[in-house]
Chain A
Amino acid sequence: MAANPMHQFQVYKIGPEIKLGDIDLSFTNASLFMLLSALSICLFLYFGSKQKNIIPGRLQLIAELFYNFIAKMISDTAGSKAKPYFPFIFTLFMFVLLCNMIGMLPYSFTVTSHIIVTLVMALFIFIAVTIIGFIKHGFKYLSIFVPKGVPVVLLPLITIIEIISYLSRPVSLSVRLFANMMAGHTMLKVFGSFVISLGLLGGWLPLSFSVALTGLEILVAFLQAYVFAILTCIYLNDALNLHH
């Protein structure tokens, strides 16, 4: 019995079908796990910041750790001008992290392994950063497409290349997260089915691989959330401090 390794990514409806015109707004397992991760972030941060002890308890320590981590990352990559965007980047990081981590639990669903979810987040960041750039610098923001010190003959070509590289940001941002999560979870499932099919005699080798992969996946889950957040910071830095 070899279970289909892609079966875990199937989206199905929970409860009644809700339709708004032509748009299907039914509650699915994807929505359930998004809601779960959002709720667990809220609960974790509420209880983590409820008691303001000088010697922090476990929960407060972890909450402060996350806060410091993100605040440091923002000030390192985007400078002090990016301080007002801290809540957005913190929310983004926590949401991606929790979605990835909850996806590591058995029988759960990994929301970030669907490209539509990651693409919407990436497009939102892309559009928001572009708007911020135009608000802060006006039409001078377009100068990021024209690098300094380029001969006039090459300028049209370079500008087109720069525009392509700018437009590739949301694609690379979303594809990275989606591909890493999907590939990892498929691999876990494939090794899991090897254990079953090889049985008691030969199943130990894939089982040990499975254990190692689980550790790797947890690392990847954290790292991808980190990369997602830090790239948002880098893009924000490009929009806030115009220099190329």
Chain B
Amino acid sequence: MEDRDFKTRLKIAKKDLQKTSLDENNKRGLFMGSAFRLGTELVAAVVVGTIIGFILDNWFDTKPWFIITFFFLGVIAGILNVIRVAKNMQKKD
């Protein structure tokens, strides 16, 4: 008996999950998560770009040209990432 009751509750819960409405509380959490995301996204792309430049420089013995170009490419990639996240945040609004 109890098991059947649990199953109906499970069914109702599953049905609720399919509704994709976000309640207010959940939304605030999402925004805060995105805010945490923005900062590191920028830094990480710069770091990765610089590391790629450093490795390429070591391979081809062209210090410092690759590291300079890839640093700036990393900056562009970082800004692009931030813009993308911000756009997603606006879309969800």
Contact = CB atoms under 8 A, between A and B. Distances in A.
A91 interface: no
A168 B41 contact: yes
A172 interface: yes
Interface string B1-43: 0110110010001000110101000100110110011001101
Contacts of A226: 29, 33
Interface string A58-69: 000000100010
Interface of A: 52-54, 64, 68, 71-72, 75-76, 157, 160-162, 164-165, 167-169, 171-172, 175-176, 179-180, 223-224, 226-227, 230-231
Contacts of B5: 54
A167 B33 contact: no
Interface of B: 2-3, 5-6, 9, 13, 17-18, 20, 22, 26, 29-30, 32-33, 36-37, 40-41, 43-45, 47-49, 52, 70, 73-74, 76-78, 80-81
A175 B36 contact: no
B6 A54 contact: yes
Contact of B43 (A53, A169, A175): A175
A167 B52 contact: yes
Contacts of A168: 41, 44-45, 47-49, 74, 77-78, 81
A52 B36 CA distance: 37
Contact of B2 (A54, A176, A230): A54
Given A68-B13, A168-B44, A168-B81, A230 B3 contact: no
Contacts of B33: 223, 226-227, 230
A76 B44 contact: no
Given A54-B5, A172-B41, A172-B43, A164 B36 contact: no
B73 A161 contact: yes
Contact of A231 (B29, B37, B70, B73): B37
B6 A179 contact: no
A52 B2 contact: yes
Given A54-B6, A223-B29, A164 B73 contact: yes
Nearest to B6: A52
A165 B30 CA distance: 22
